[in-house]
């Protein structure tokens, strides 16, 4: 399930399709692969509905084509012909589909082209989508990239018609230069933070990053802080993430639970922040309490790359990270008692140091993805 590293036979034009370029792991990965393609002498193109990351992409010298291919509507399929014309006009060698609605537009455009000359097709399964015909388009690539072993297993269990020889497991990665081990924010940031959040001063800070939604485990954090506080630990919990308008009801429930438990001075809802790296760097422990398995879990890896201890439920991609990098931080799913026991030990004795090895790096992800592109380009074409 891996590709040999080889010198590319030609300068490839690779077109990635995503719904938009606002924020998120899929979007970040799209920009990272475009940058790697450019550095390797290839020609990357990204097609999306636009967004704030377009400026970052274009600043790198990558072409962006705005096309509204992300809206979940049959009307979006009107762009199939436009996309097919773009494949031809741009001389596209590889099409990389990264999300379901754009994948339908891209796949319908691709499948009607001459199999002898059309671009090669790659998809990435970024998560355990609902198992249905709509999601199945993500398995239609000539090569299918899975972002973790959890996703490989998801494909094997739910789509038995997929040839597993064509599946490539490529973990997402973090740049250790952007998230250096031992990083500390500068004095100006620290002063601004303490002025805004003085309640965190001289406290043992637990940080739970993630958008405000029930499955991210914010209610479990409340249980953990309640028990640690009762045990005399001077703990303060940070919940870092915003709430989508559809999640306002859960946000209200969370705020009420904080008040009812008497935790108003012990839990801070920080909201959406652009300085999560700095917040994690000043945290004593970063938590991953998602009750549904994360397909990969980029934030937990960022924390580990910074050298910060991570305590998390050992399932999904986060479980794979902890197994490889920090097994002392792995606890059974939903086991709040185990979390409290370990955290009390860490508070009293200090958490184990995060090892220096970094097995999940941005460079490895980029290199492995480009190797898939190049190997597919050189491989024989299948008819039909």
Residues 148 and 209 in one domain: no
Tell me, yes or no, whether 181 lies in a domain.
Answer: no
Total structural domains within the chain: 2
Q: What is the pLDDT of residue 256?
A: 97
The answer for 307, left when phi > 0, alpha when psi is -120 to 50, beta otherwise, is: left
Tell me, yes or no, whether 384 lies in a domain.
Answer: no
pLDDT at 360 over 80: yes
Residues 94 and 203 in one domain: no
Tell me, yes or no, whether 211 lies in a domain.
Answer: yes
CA 211 centroid distance within chain: 13
Tell me, yes or no, whether 179 lies in a domain.
Answer: no
Instruction: Give one DSSP letter per residue of 263-325, joined into a string.
Output: -TTTEEEEES-S-HHHHHHT-SEEEE--SSPPSS-HHHHHHHHTT--EEEESSHHHHHHHHHH
Tokens standing for residue 167: 């599946």
Residue 7's pLDDT band (cuts 50, 70, 90): very low
Residues 150 and 40 in one domain: yes
| Calpha distance 205→285 (Å, rounded) | 7
Q: What is the pLDDT of residues 35-91, one digit of tens each?
A: 999 999 999 999 999 999 999 999 999 999 999 999 999 999 999 999 999 999 999
Q: Give the containing element (helix H, strand E) for 104.
A: helix 100-111
Residues 307 and 370 in one domain: no
Residues 196 and 133 in one domain: no
CA neighbor of 53 nearest in space, from 70, 29, 37: 29
Query: Residue 99 is part of which domain span?
Result: 13-173+362-378
Tell me, yes or no, whether 150 lies in a domain.
Answer: yes
| Calpha distance 304→275 (Å, rounded) | 16
Q: Average pLDDT for residues 302-327, to the nearest whole number?
A: 97
pLDDT, mean over the chain: 95
Q: What is the pLDDT of residue 9?
A: 60
H-assigned helices in 159-297: 187-196, 218-230, 248-260, 276-281
Q: Average pLDDT for residues 147-151, to the nearest whole number?
A: 96
Long-range contacts of 229-235 (CB under 8 A, 24+ apart): 229/263, 229/266, 231/340, 231/344, 233/204, 233/343, 233/344, 233/347, 234/202, 234/203, 234/204, 235/203, 235/204, 235/205, 235/206, 235/266, 235/347
Q: What is the pLDDT of residue 140?
A: 97
Tell me, yes or no, whether 7 lies in a domain.
Answer: no
Residues 144 and 230 in one domain: no
| Calpha distance 40→368 (Å, rounded) | 13
Tell me, yes or no, whether 356 lies in a domain.
Answer: no
Residues 212 and 276 in one domain: yes
- CATH number of the domain where residue 78 is located: 3.40.50.2000
pLDDT at 253 over 70: yes
Give Dmax over CA atoms of the chain in angstroms: 70
Q: What is the pLDDT of residue 22?
A: 87
Residues 202 and 330 in one domain: yes
The percent of residues in the chain predicted with pLDDT above 90, rounded, is 92
Q: What is the pLDDT of residues 189-214, one digit of tens each?
A: 999 999 999 999 999 999 999 989 99
Q: What is the pLDDT of residues 22-37, one digit of tens each?
A: 878 899 999 999 999 9
Q: Average pLDDT for residues 331-359, to the nearest whole number?
A: 97
Q: Give the containing element (helix H, strand E) for 179.
A: none
Residues 203 and 287 in one domain: yes
The answer for 71, left when phi > 0, alpha when psi is -120 to 50, beta otherwise, is: beta
Residues 165 and 238 in one domain: no
Tell me, yes or no, whether 323 lies in a domain.
Answer: yes
pLDDT at 247 over 90: no
Q: What are phi and psi of 300, to 5 degrees?
A: -60, -35
Residues 127 and 35 in one domain: yes
């Amino acid at each position: 399930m891996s590709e040999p590293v080889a010198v590319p036979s030609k300068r490839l034009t690779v077109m990635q399709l995503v719904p938009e370029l606002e924020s998120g792991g899929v979007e970040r990965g799209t920009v990272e692969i475009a940058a790697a393609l450019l550095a390797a002498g290839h020609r990357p193109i990204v097609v999306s509905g636009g967004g704030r990351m377009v400026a970052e992409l274009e600043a790198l010298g990558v072409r962006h084509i705005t096309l509204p291919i992300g809206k979940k509507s049959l009307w979006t399929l009107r762009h199939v012909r436009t996309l097919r014309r773009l494949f031809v006009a741009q001389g596209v060698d590889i099409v990389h589909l990264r999300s379901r609605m754009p994948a339908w537009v891209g796949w319908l455009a691709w499948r009607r082209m001459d199999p002898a000359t059309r671009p090669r097709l790659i998809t990435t399964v970024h998560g355990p989508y609902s198992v249905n015909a709509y999601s199945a388009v993500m398995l239609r690539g000539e090569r299918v990239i899975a972002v973790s072993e959890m996703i490989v297993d998801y494909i094997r269990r739910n789509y038995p018609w997929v040839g597993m020889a064509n599946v490539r497991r490529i973990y997402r990665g973090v740049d250790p230069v952007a998230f250096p081990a031992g990083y500390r924010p500068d004095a100006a940031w620290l002063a601004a933070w303490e002025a805004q959040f003085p309640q965190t001063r001289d406290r043992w800070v637990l940080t739970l990053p993630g958008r405000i939604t029930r499955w991210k485990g914010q209610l479990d954090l409340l249980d953990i802080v309640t028990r640690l506080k009762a045990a005399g630990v001077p703990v303060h919990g940070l919940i870092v993430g915003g709430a989508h308008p559809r999640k306002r009801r859960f946000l209200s429930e969370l705020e009420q639970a904080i008040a009812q438990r008497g935790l108003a001075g012990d839990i801070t809802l920080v909201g959406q922040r652009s300085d999560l790296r700095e917040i994690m760097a000043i945290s004593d422990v970063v938590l991953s309490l998602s009750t549904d398995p994360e397909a990969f879990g980029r934030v937990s890896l960022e924390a580990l790359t910074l050298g910060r201890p991570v305590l998390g439920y050992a399932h999904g991609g986060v479980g794979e990270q902890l197994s490889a990098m920090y097994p002392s931080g792995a606890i059974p799913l939903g086991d709040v008692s185990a979390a409290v026991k370990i955290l009390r030990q860490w508070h009293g004795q200090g958490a184990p140091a995060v090892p220096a090895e970094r097995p999940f790096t941005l460079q490895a992800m980029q290199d492995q993805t480009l190797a898939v592109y190049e190997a597919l380009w050189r491989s024989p074409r299948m008819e039909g």
